[in-house]
Structure 1
Amino acid sequence: MVKLPSPPTREPAPPEVDTEVRRLPRPERGLVLKPALFLTVLAMAAGLGLGTHLVHYAQIADAAKQQGTVTTGESDPRTSRLYRLKPIVTNLTEPANVWLRLDAAIVFADEMPNSEIISAKISEDLLAFLKTLKIGQLDGATQLQHLREDLKDRVAIRSGGDVKDLIIESLVVQ
């Protein structure tokens, strides 16, 4: 039989004093727990704030849905500065068989207690102006921009500067 070499003998373990010197010190619990706790509290606060924000806007949307859409000729309940005009329907000067419908809203500079009176005057003035238009004045984007500026100028003059802007919601030529 063949004898196998015996395994090498192990060296005795160094004394415990040497092993403690070689180990790195353990971090203190506070150094790890404080940032973790801070980040947890920060995440909870952000989640609470976002949740509150979303619930607020969901309640607004629900209230608007329950009230229904804003009817024509009434002020928008979310802001009393926006007033939707009743649709203006008229025929053009040339050709006479072409009709135009304008849906618009006006934005007051401040809250106006007599907004219905001013909007009726503005609607009357816009109707008179639209009756004078020809089909060529509605061709292309540049012509429509000029029409918008003309209507905005007329609204500003008629309201005495109380109206800040005119918003054209739709303009249909048939």
Structure 2
Amino acid sequence: MATVEQAPDKKAGPSIIIQVAILAIMTAAAIGIGWLSGSYLNSTTKRDQPAAAASEPAAKGNEKAKAGEEGDKTKGPKVVDLAPITTNLAAPSDTWVRLDLSIRLDAPTEDATLADTIQQDLLAFIRTVKLHQIEGASGFQHLKADLAERAAIRSNGLVTAVYIRTLIFE
């Protein structure tokens, strides 16, 4: 019998030295990119934030002193909590919703019934909403925009924002 000698198989793929070199190059590139992005982000932040935070309590103290001298005449925006809205939706009618809202008024008003009027209008609106209209993030944004628009119309532009504090479906 004739014996055939076979040559030993060579390893397929790059050698260990090339693999280590590529790993070292990629690691150095990752460190460099991380350092550059960190230094860029650090340069875009305000460096005087601690000084502003330290002067903020003094500024608030001055505002309180001025407010005390002027009395209760607040000219800034005012946030008013509305009574909770609990009702069923238009479809499916067995789905109930509880909605706690607040409104921001840019100017003080002497109308004591304005908040109640807005709350009743928003209650009537919620009763016409279908569940599929307010599903998902975009549905929530549309609901919030609709509530803000109705409140602004009902208040003749005094309401500039509607804050949804709680929205629960059952």
TM-score bucket (shorter structure): 0.5 to 0.7
In 2, the alpha carbon distance for the partners of 1:157 and 1:101 equals 23
Give 1:53 deviation, angstroms: 3.6
Do residues 147 (structure 1) and 143 (structure 2) align? yes
Give 1:113 deviation, angstroms: 2.1
Give 1:172 deviation, angstroms: 0.8
Contact 2:84-2:101 within 8 A present in 1 as well: yes
Aligned counterpart for 2:81 among listed residues 64, 67, 84: 84
One-letter identity of the residue aligned with 2:100: D
- Tell me the TM-score normalized by structure 1: 0.54
Contact 1:81-1:112 within 8 A present in 2 as well: no
- Tell me the TM-score normalized by structure 2: 0.55
Please list every run of 5 or more consecutive structure 1 residues that lacks an aligned counterpart in the other structure: 1-49, 61-76
Contact 2:85-2:99 within 8 A present in 1 as well: yes
In 2, the alpha carbon distance for the partners of 1:155 and 1:169 equals 16
- % same residue: 36
Aligned counterpart for 2:99 among listed residues 89, 99, 102: 102
Please list every run of 5 or more consecutive structure 2 residues that lacks an aligned counterpart in the other structure: 1-53, 65-73
What SS class does the counterpart of residue 146 from structure 1 fall into? helix
Larger radius of gyration: 1
Aligned counterpart for 1:111 among listed residues 108, 111, 115: 108
- In angstroms, what is the RMSD of aligned CA positions? 2.7
In 2, the alpha carbon distance for the partners of 1:144 and 1:53 equals 36
Moved over 3 A (4+): 50-54
